[in-house]
Amino acid sequence: MRPAYEGKPMVVLSNNDGCAIARTAEAKALGIKMGEPWFKIKHLADRDGLIALSANFSLYGDLSARMMSVIGQFAPVQEIYSIDESFLDLTGMRGTGRQLGEAIRQRVRQWVGIPTCVGIGPTKTLAKLANHLAKKLPRLEGVCDLSTLDQAGLMRAIRHVPVEDVWGVGRRLSPRLLSLGIETAADLAMADPRVIRDEFSIVLAKTARELAGEACMALEDIPADKQQIMCSRSFGRPVLEKADLAQAISVFATRAAEKLRRQAGTTPAIQVFIRTSPFRVEDPQYSGSTVTRIARPTSNTGDINAGALRALDKLYRPGFRYAKAGICLLDIASVDAVAAQGQLFDTPAEPGVACGRLMAVVDRINDRFGRSAIAPASTYGENDAPWQMRQERMTPAYTTDWNQLVEVWR
């Protein structure tokens, strides 16, 4: 959206512009670490031209959907793994891996406007590792194909990759692996899976087998339903009044209920928490959490919101400077499973059916006219409520707001 930023050191900041949660290669070259607080690096803006932007999640979500749609055109089976990662099953597709990878990169760059790297391998773990190599080695020009290598060639290709860079290992498991003499991805691939299973877990044993070229993880083209749904936020400013907390909790409950309905789920229980900031040591500290039950599992925004506000009544203590709050929907089950179970005192005219239709209408209206076009009255309040995120470096919503569309010319 801003070509002038290309090649410049840039970071994206977390909620309330607190820490660097994404960095360009140029920013990494300045020594900026993941999660480093902004107040420690903001001097680099004047010294080295560092650009810092507030997180713009609606823009990222829209661009992610566009990117996944483009990538999905290259294969019949796609697993969307995260906001910026996707697996494709290239079995039977025409062309070499290199050709397909270059075509994917070119089309995403042209149609969406963002750079990508492509890793290809006979297993999901090797595809992830190939993607890692495509990013790290400039000579690969963004595409790495490990699928054509024999066993010896594969081990040579991954023998210089530290074991902590392997998908599913990370810094937590790597010290124990290093103590066993497993230092690289090739070492893990050649380790006895039974030993890895006994010493660690069956999951890491599968990772070792995948590194050796044995597929153990199938593509999940239909995302699994979530068992819990969390909505929480650190506040832009300390919150003192219960009314402000109630508005925040209502907003979180409304969004959680929307997510719940998207997966056709219901919940019988809601966890609510509020807490002060542990970093403000001069302030009195308080942290409270409780679970409230709902008479019948539901996805109705009104029922979930009412339950969340009842929980807040139990938790709130005056005199504290609250810094964060949130809710979590628990024990999520599908609507069909709950409907089949029934209730002892159900009437022939089941009220849940009418509520379900009402929520469907509300969701359609909000999809068409924007989030919170219709919402509980308790979600409305001051535009600059203290619980709202502080986002002083926000970019425009170039693709999701008619009033902020990208300007091609003036």
**359 and 405, same domain (yes or no):** no
The whole-chain average pLDDT of the chain stands at 88
> How many domains does the chain contain in total?
3
The mean pLDDT value for 212-221 works out to 83
pLDDT at 151 over 70: yes
Residue 60 in any domain: the answer is no
Asked which of 6-15, 215-224, 288-297 is least confident by mean pLDDT, the reply is 215-224
Q: What is the CATH number of the domain that holds 333?
A: 3.30.1490.100
Banded pLDDT at 353 (limits 50, 70, 90):
low
**43 and 73, same domain (yes or no):** no
As a whole-number percent, the residues of the chain with pLDDT over 70 amount to 94
pLDDT in tens, 247-282: 999 999 999 999 999 988 999 999 999 999 988 888
Residue 62 in any domain: the answer is no
pLDDT in tens, 158-194: 999 999 999 988 788 888 899 889 899 999 999 888 8
CA 18/CA 38 separation, integer angstroms: 6
Q: What is the CATH number of the domain that holds 121?
A: 1.10.150.20
**137 and 201, same domain (yes or no):** yes
Residue 397 in any domain: the answer is yes
CA 392/CA 225 separation, integer angstroms: 35
Q: How far apart are the first and last CA of the chain?
A: 15
**77 and 149, same domain (yes or no):** yes
**4 and 95, same domain (yes or no):** no
User: What single-letter DSSP state applies at residue 148?
Assistant: T
pLDDT in tens, 96-134: 999 999 999 999 999 998 899 999 999 999 999 999 999
**339 and 264, same domain (yes or no):** yes
Q: Residues 35, 37, 40, CA angle at the centre, nearest 5°?
A: 135
**252 and 349, same domain (yes or no):** yes
Residue 216 in any domain: the answer is no
The domain in which residue 137 lies consists of 67-211
Phi, psi angle pair for 270, to nearest 5°: -130, 130
Q: In the prediction, which pLDDT does 346 show?
A: 56
**111 and 177, same domain (yes or no):** yes
59: left (phi over 0), alpha (psi -120 to 50) or beta: alpha
Q: How far is CA 123 from the centre of its chain?
A: 23
Banded pLDDT at 349 (limits 50, 70, 90):
very low
Residue 367 in any domain: the answer is yes
- Boundary-marking domain end, from 211, 241, 265: 211
**252 and 148, same domain (yes or no):** no
